[in-house]
């Protein structure tokens, strides 16, 4: 049986009214993230997020309204028409193709998954059946859909990007490679106009369904590769969770960019500058090759376009075997015949060998179009847990870079600083020892950074309450520890800069 996508059309008032009635029915039955958690309980809810349906099937045997919706839209089970009619405007759903008849029963044509917005909004993400979580390997039921064109729901990468995106009000936002439309949906909350592009026309139709069902304004949907569909247009915010997987061939549009190695991510970064308005941000997730004889930081630095500041965080590095296995499983190749699996694995390793690739880095890239002659380019490895959302931390990073760029050492010593609210001090040393071996300042929020400081650094940070200039504090410390104040003033600005750069100290003015 071939599955067609729903035809709901936000431009057509009648179809739009039908979508509103469907949304009202979903809400009335508590088909929301909270409602699901209540119905399924934490273990079955978490299992569903891992693509495991058995616990949720057991929890929805009762046939109540919410159970019916879970079975239809999340578990791809047909339900008797009378039961569907008790909870949904069935005629509307049939008219727009959300449901189709299957013998005496009705079944859904797409996965519709409750998704909580950042301010508690009840949203729904539409995707292909069986593709709401995980990759194409988990697919069970999208009969008639060309596998290469499958549209996935929200995965870990989607929520990571949504979390790190700077959410300031902007005029124009671009979601490049929109897929289910999740990033466009977030952007619609703080951008006056949202453009969403995708190479896959099915994705654009599905993104339109996500936006309409979630009650967001429509986005301008444009089909095409990378920046091709937007011509010369510029944006205040560009977000992209692109098909970053480095693979031996383009088989799955949602993940394989179809360009060699990490060329798709590089092209995206290099071309972004021409599509950013002044002060605009481009935020994307990317994978990059670690090539023998080359520092990954040099590789990434060479990607950053002129006129842009950049903050690049490498979150994880996988060796090529782990990487190949991850994506072989994602595509379901581990279920193929052993020889076929081995041939695919071999092809992956051949590709890496040909490119001299030893490992693959995964991380976040943020560009800001500053036009600065000496752009600030920060590359770092930070594999530790962070506290999302980090959108404000991203804005804070660039604001601090601006401050440090404009403040020489004399001005730094004349400035006053405050210790950031969420910083604690840890002392590390042998039990019973009078003095610690070293002191660590640790943030309990945001990037959750930790940095080693000496006793002067710890004393300085502890006294920073915004009332005294940094130089005066150093003079007092010098007296206390019997050090020459001139020397101390001379050697400390570098450490103050690090503490400011990493967000431990905030300039007061
Ligand atoms: C990893 S999915 C991301 C989907 C969604 N934005 C999210 O965050 O969950 C990548 C998307 O990029 C699209 N895509 C693939 N190649 C592309 C290209 N050359 N240009 C634009 N989009 C592309 C895929 O169809 C897919 O929808």
Ramachandran category for residue 365: left, alpha or beta (phi over 0 → left; psi -120 to 50 → alpha): beta
Atom of ligand 1 nearest to the CA of 259: 19
Find the 197 Cα to ligand 1 centroid distance in Å.
Answer: 8
User: What pTM did the predictor assign?
Assistant: 0.96
Task: From 123, 154, 179, give the residue whose CB has the most ligand 1 atoms within 8 Å, as the site to mutate.
Answer: 179
Structure tokens at 208: 């339109």
Atom of ligand 1 nearest to the CA of 178: 6
Quick one: pLDDT at residue 509? 78
Mean pLDDT of 267-295: 98
The lowest-confidence range among 51-55, 203-207, 406-410, 431-435 is 431-435
Structure tokens at 413: 């010593």
Among candidate residues 287, 235, 291, the one with its CA nearest the CA of residue 264 = 287
- Measure the CA–CA gap between 184 and 196, rounded to whole angstroms: 6
* Residue 379 and residue 312 in contact, taking contact as beta carbons nearer than 8 Å: yes
Ligand 1 pocket member 225 (CB < 6 A): yes
- Measure the CA–CA gap between 421 and 260, rounded to whole angstroms: 46
Quick one: pLDDT at residue 130? 83
* Residue 360 and residue 245 in contact, taking contact as beta carbons nearer than 8 Å: no
318 versus 427: which is more confidently predicted?
A: 318
Find the 436 Cα to ligand 1 centroid distance in Å.
Answer: 51
Task: From 131, 153, 185, 198, give the residue whose CB has the most ligand 1 atoms within 8 Å, as the site to mutate.
Answer: 198
Q: pLDDT tens for residues 116-163?
A: 999 999 999 999 998 877 777 766 545 567 889 999 999 999 999 999
Residue 313: pLDDT over 70: yes
Q: pLDDT tens for residues 351-403?
A: 999 999 999 999 999 999 999 989 999 999 999 999 999 999 999 999 999 99
Other Cβ atoms less than 10 A from the Cβ of 276: the count is 23
């Amino acid at each position: 049986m071939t599955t067609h996508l729903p035809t709901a059309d936000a431009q057509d008032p009648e179809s739009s009214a039908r979508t509103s009635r469907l949304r009202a029915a979903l809400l009335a039955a508590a088909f929301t993230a909270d409602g699901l958690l209540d119905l399924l309980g934490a273990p079955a809810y978490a299992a569903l997020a891992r693509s495991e349906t058995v616990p949720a099937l057991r929890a929805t045997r009762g046939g109540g309204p919410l159970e019916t919706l879970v079975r239809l839209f999340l578990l791809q089970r047909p339900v008797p028409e009378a039961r569907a009619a008790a909870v949904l405007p069935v005629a509307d759903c049939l008219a727009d193709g959300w449901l189709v008849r299957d013998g005496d029963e009705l079944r859904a044509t797409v996965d519709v998954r409750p998704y909580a917005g950042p301010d508690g909004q009840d949203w729904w993400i539409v995707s292909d059946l069986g593709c709401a979580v995980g990759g194409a390997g988990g697919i069970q039921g999208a009969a008639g859909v060309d596998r290469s064109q499958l549209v996935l729901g929200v995965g870990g990468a989607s929520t990571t990007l949504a979390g790190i995106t700077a959410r300031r009000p902007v005029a124009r936002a671009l979601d490049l490679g929109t897929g289910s439309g999740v990033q466009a949906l977030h952007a619609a909350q703080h951008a006056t106009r949202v453009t969403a592009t995708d190479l896959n026309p099915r994705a654009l139709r599905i993104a339109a369904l996500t936006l309409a069902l979630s009650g967001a304004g429509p986005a301008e949907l444009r089909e095409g590769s990378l920046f091709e569909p937007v011509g010369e247009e510029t944006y205040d915010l560009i977000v992209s969770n692109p098909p970053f997987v480095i693979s031996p061939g383009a088989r799955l549009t949602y993940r394989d960019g179809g360009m060699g190695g990490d060329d798709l991510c590089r092209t995206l970064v290099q071309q972004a500058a021409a599509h950013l308005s002044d002060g605009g941000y481009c935020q994307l997730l990317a994978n990059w090759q670690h090539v023998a004889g080359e520092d990954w930081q040099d590789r990434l630095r060479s990607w950053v376009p002129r006129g842009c500041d950049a903050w690049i965080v490498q979150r994880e590095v996988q060796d090529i075997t782990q990487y190949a296995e991850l994506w072989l499983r994602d595509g379901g190749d581990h279920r193929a015949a052993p020889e076929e699996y081995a041939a695919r694995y071999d092809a992956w390793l051949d590709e890496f060998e040909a490119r001299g690739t030893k490992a693959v880095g995964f991380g976040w890239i943020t560009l800001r179009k500053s036009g600065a002659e000496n752009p600030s380019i920060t590359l770092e490895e930070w594999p530790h847990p962070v506290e999302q959302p980090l959108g404000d931390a991203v804005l804070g990073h660039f604001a601090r870079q601006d401050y440090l760029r404009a403040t020489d050492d004399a001005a730094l010593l004349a400035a006053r600083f405050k210790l950031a609210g969420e910083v604690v001090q840890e002392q590390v040393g042998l039990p019973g020892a009078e003095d610690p071996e070293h002191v660590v300042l640790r943030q309990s929020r945001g990037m959750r950074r930790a940095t080693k400081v000496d006793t002067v650094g710890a004393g300085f940070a502890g006294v920073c309450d915004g009332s005294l200039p940094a130089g005066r504090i150093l003079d007092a410390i010098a007296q206390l520890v019997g050090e020459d104040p001139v020397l101390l003033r001379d050697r400390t600005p570098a450490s103050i800069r690090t503490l400011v750069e990493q967000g431990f100290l905030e300039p007061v003015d």
